[in-house]
Amino acid sequence: MANQLLSYYESAAHAAALCSVASVPVLPAPLAAECLDALKKIHPCDYADVESQSGQLAYAMAATIAEKRSFLASSNMHALDEVQKASFMRMPLVAANFSRAVGTFTTRTDLTGVFALRDAGWLMFLAESPQEALDSVVMAYRICEDSKVLLPAVVNIDGIANMREVVNVPNKKIIDNLLPSLRMPRKLRDNGTFGSPVFEGYQEFREQQQLAMLNAKRMIRGVGEKWYEKFRRSYGSVERFHSDDADYVLVTAGFYSSAAKSFVLKARQQGERVGLLRMRVARPWPSEDVADALKNAKKIAVIDRGVSLGASGFLHNELKSVHNFCSSFVSYNALDEKSFADVLAKLKKQEKPETVWF
């Protein structure tokens, strides 16, 4: 194992190289192109230029059917039919998604693009740091390719993608031992028909996808435990940060969780009983872990980096049924320690759950 100074782009690229990806469709999308350029420098494999997201996903699915591990780098996947098809056909693809605001031209990032996949049958990991981005891509392959799962996954990155941090890059031999070669239950040589035309069996197919998601919950826990044994880095579906004895809990996801943690540490030094719950996995939704983490809290503030328009924040939609005092705080702006201090101050004053844009 070696420590290297890596950006998010480079961390995702190193993860793909560690997993010995064999086939990579190249779409020159903003942000994602930087990751693919980094991968080309360190890992020789089949690279194919494609002209659209539909082509990118179709190429990756074809490679997977041929038992060639494929890697996608994207900056929000909008090819709805192909995205759904990848899950329906049980293709264990892994994508590193570099979040950017959708529908406009801006340098701001949010979670709108990745949460468009929440009902598409993809496992969803929300990375906080370059280290976690690298680890999560590798772990995603191990989970997705298990015969009881066989679903695609996305590892979302919403931080400053070219910011560099010291990242521990595992030894490839260790990863080879943790990650078996890709084996698909149906292969091209079986003369099977690949596609997703289903008539009377449609409900059964959907039920199998749901069961696979539930199996993924157990796999996430098991793979996380093995990862800790090997590397002493702990990953579950959620991260509990001083939340067990907290009266007030902030719920976050992604890059800005680091600033929230810094705020929590300083606030606790000043006597505030505040903690943080970081959502690392959004699908399968870790309902039991969330309920257990929030059971002692008096008030919850869910900080959302995107809104399901007409409802509430993405995470708030999932959490509001878990706790009777769950407020939604929505921001598309950069967040720092002062931002989270303002959230806590507002939360403490609230007499009933509210939605606050800040």
**Spans in the chain with pLDDT lower than 50:** none
The reply to whether 157 and 252 lie within a common domain is no
| In a shared domain, residues 31 and 153 | yes
User: What would the two tokens of residue 189 be?
Assistant: 């040589």
Domain around 291: 238-357
Q: Are residues 271 and 163 in the same domain?
A: no
Nearest to 322 by CA among 348, 342, 296: 296
pLDDT of residue 199: 66
- pLDDT number for residue 192: 52
Is 222 in the same domain as 251?
no
The confidence score (pLDDT) of residue 216 equals 98
Give the domain-ending residue among 215, 231, 247.
231
Residues 227 and 242 grouped into a single domain? no
Model pTM greater than 0.75? yes
Residue 219 structure tokens:
């796999």
First to last CA, the chain: 42
Residues 23 and 172 in one domain: yes
- Domain closes at, from 185, 209, 231: 231
Predicted pLDDT at 139 = 98
The answer to whether residues 201 and 176 belong to one domain is yes
Residues 152 and 22 in one domain: yes
The answer on 322 and 271 residing in a single domain is: yes
Report how far residue 135's alpha carbon sits from residue 127's, in angstroms, rounded to the nearest whole number: 9
Based on the fold, state whether residues 172 and 105 are members of the same structural domain: yes
- The residue from 214, 231, 248 where one domain ends is 231
Cis peptide before 28 (omega within 30 of 0): no
Provide the sign of the torsion angle of the four alpha carbons 325, 255, 13, 173, taken in this order: negative
> Domain count of the chain?
2
Residues 183-228 have pLDDT tens digits of: 998 765 555 555 655 667 889 989 999 999 999 999 999 999 999 9
* 246 and 221 fall within a common domain: no
The candidate with the shortest Cα–Cα distance to 91, out of 125, 128, 126, 122, is 122
Domain containing residue 268: CATH number: 3.40.50.920
